[in-house]
Amino acid sequence: MKYVSTRGHAANQSFTDILLEGLAPDGGLSVPEQWPRVMPVKLEAMRDLPYPRLAFEIVRFFADDFPGAALKSACEKTYTKEIFGSPEITPLRTLEPNLHILGLSNGPTLAFKDIALQLIGNLFEHELAAQDRNLNVVGATSGDTGSAAEHALKGKPRVNVFMLSPQGRMSPFQRAQMFSLQEANIHNIAVEGVFDECQDVVKAINADAGFKEEHAIGAVNSINWARVVAQVVYYFKGYFAATSSNDEQVSFAVPSGNFGNIFAGYVAKKMGLPIRRLVLATNENDVLDEFFRTGRYRPRKAAETQETSSPSMDISKASNFERFIWDIVDGDGDKVAWLWEQVAQKGGFDLSTDRAWEKVEEDSGFVSGRSLHEDRVETIRLVKKKYNQVIDPHTADGVKVALRQREPRYPMICLETALPVKFDATIVEALGEHAPRPPQFEGLEKLPQRFTTMKPDPEALKDYIRSNH
């Protein structure tokens, strides 16, 4: 499997070449030259595989240069009952006939990001040893990504994590999940500023090529291709759990921010999984909903991004979206580069009269919708009352839009992207009671915390990195 850049100018690379990298050298994102197809016989053979084996079979399509035995043992080590709470890893719960929730959030940090990052931690471990390299992961987080990355990389040899977060802006639960880690390779940095300032500091570090090279700076952000691949697996798992034969079609509803989760569903569809609709849900920050309704893409500036009660979707520039555009313009890298030039110069682009738009409407499977604060509160109440289940605010956005886009004949699978305990304030607002807390998280906020505070200053961070690895 060869990888190219969405902007067409990067040389052929392999999976292991791109595993530890961020952007392609021409500023684009890495994508496979063509989509692997799962033949019907193979799909049938996958139906009853346990999760680790299914993960191996699917990731292998995209990672044919990663040693098979190492990939297999990474999948087996990652997808266990001990780490994800059940042998199914992503159990399906049925609310009523043809309406399901796929539990993706039973890993160590209670958000779906664990599914990909736990595997990445093990793939990194193998690859760094094979290449005899070290890596200093530097990132900024407003909550879920940072803690999932830290829990995946804590205690691993050859890796340090430097994670910036805006001081006092995460929920007490999220802060405790990160700051209570005592492993020496985890460095939590509470920045006296907002999330955008954290991100600017990380960008400044990455713009300093000399420093980056000398200190082996890396990332595990949402454009990492291996994260997308690891997420493809649970679309297959969910499909098999909701159907009894491969003649059936199902739809998926996905609360979206950076477009990484739902893009993995699109990849599954491209591989031949019988997916009918991919229902994209946004919150108040509705750039992607606007695109899928109108063909116009108008990313907003950071200052126009609203803070909402589904904070992990407060994103107005979805980083993985470029991969989708690349696919619908038939892999024309020059065209992708031109479209992103339009974004830089004119603030967006309009594909509604382009040939590519017909593909979006006719065979991409995408439909979309938007859910606001009142919608999510109401949906949390409805699901509790009607089905006696408590869902988190992000999942509620997905369920809200799913109910609007549902076709009675086809199963609808709503992806559960976090557990409600992470966002307890909204649960209390909706239900007048606290979210259920898994027993292993009792007393989490009272554990001793370990972190450093810092001004939003790239030089201060560089000094800190120099003296801490």
Ligand X SMILES: *Cc1c(COP(=O)(O)O)cnc(C)c1O
**Is 77 assigned a catalytic role?**
no
* DSSP-derived pairing of the beta strands 135-140 and 452-454: unpaired
Residue among 103 and 333 whose Cβ is closer to ligand X: 103
Q: Does 52 bind ligand X (CB under 6 A)?
A: no
Residue among 171 and 180 whose Cβ is closer to ligand X: 171
List CB contacts of 11: < 8 A, sequence separation 6 or more: none
Q: How far is 15 from 18, CA to CA, in rounded Å?
A: 5
Residue among 149 and 161 whose Cβ is closer to ligand X: 149
- Provide DSSP, 222-289: TT-HHHHHHHHHHHHHHHHHH-SSTT--EEEEEE-SSSHHHHHHHHHHHTT--EEEEEEEE-S--HHH
Question: Could you tell me which of 94, 121, 95, 97 has the C-alpha nearest to residue 108?
Answer: 121
Q: With left for phi above 0 and alpha for psi between -120 and 50, is residue 24 left, alpha or beta?
A: beta
Per CB under 6 A, which region of 64-72, 115-123, 253-261, 436-444 contacts ligand X? 253-261
Please identify which residue in 269, 394, 400, 406 interacts with ligand X, judged by CB under 6 A: 394
The residue to which tokens 């995209």 are assigned: 62
Residue among 75 and 115 whose Cβ is closer to ligand X: 115
Per CB under 6 A, which region of 119-127, 158-166, 251-259, 329-337 contacts ligand X? 251-259
Please identify which residue in 30, 141, 285, 417 interacts with ligand X, judged by CB under 6 A: 417
Question: Could you tell me which of 274, 226, 304, 320 has the C-alpha nearest to residue 413?
Answer: 274
Per CB under 6 A, which region of 31-39, 158-166, 176-184, 252-260 contacts ligand X? 252-260
Please identify which residue in 222, 305, 371, 426 interacts with ligand X, judged by CB under 6 A: 222
Residue type, position 341, single letter? E
Please identify which residue in 55, 267, 313, 419 interacts with ligand X, judged by CB under 6 A: 313
Per CB under 6 A, which region of 62-70, 93-101, 255-263, 437-445 contacts ligand X? 255-263
Q: Shortest gap between Cβ of 393 and ligand X (angstroms)?
A: 8
Question: Could you tell me which of 118, 123, 120, 121 has the C-alpha nearest to residue 104?
Answer: 118
Please identify which residue in 312, 316, 379, 426 interacts with ligand X, judged by CB under 6 A: 312
Q: Does 256 bind ligand X (CB under 6 A)?
A: yes
Please identify which residue in 114, 144, 289, 327 interacts with ligand X, judged by CB under 6 A: 144
Q: Does 6 bind ligand X (CB under 6 A)?
A: no
Helix residue ranges per DSSP H, 20-67 = 40-46, 51-62
Please identify which residue in 52, 85, 146, 255 interacts with ligand X, judged by CB under 6 A: 255
Q: How far is 154 from 82, CA to CA, in rounded Å?
A: 17
Residue among 271 and 418 whose Cβ is closer to ligand X: 418
Q: Does 379 bind ligand X (CB under 6 A)?
A: no
Q: Does 174 bind ligand X (CB under 6 A)?
A: no
* DSSP-derived pairing of the beta strands 3-5 and 30-32: antiparallel
Please identify which residue in 226, 396, 418, 454 interacts with ligand X, judged by CB under 6 A: 418
Catalytic one of 2, 42, 77, 113: 113
Please identify which residue in 7, 100, 113, 215 interacts with ligand X, judged by CB under 6 A: 113
- Tokens matching residue 58: 């699917």
Residue type, position 319, single letter? S
Q: Does 402 bind ligand X (CB under 6 A)?
A: no
| Contact assessment for residue 451 and residue 162, using Cβ atoms and an 8 Å cutoff | no
* DSSP-derived pairing of the beta strands 349-350 and 296-297: antiparallel
Per CB under 6 A, which region of 162-170, 256-264, 298-306, 458-466 contacts ligand X? 256-264
DSSP letter, residue 434: P
Q: How far is 78 from 323, CA to CA, in rounded Å?
A: 27
Q: Shortest gap between Cβ of 222 and ligand X (angstroms)?
A: 6
Q: Shortest gap between Cβ of 321 and ligand X (angstroms)?
A: 10
How many beta carbons lie within 10 A of that of residue 25, not counting itself?
Answer: 12
| Footprint on this chain of ligand X (rule: CB under 6 A) | 111, 113, 144, 222, 255-261, 312-313, 394, 417-418
Could you give the residue numbers annotated as active site?
113
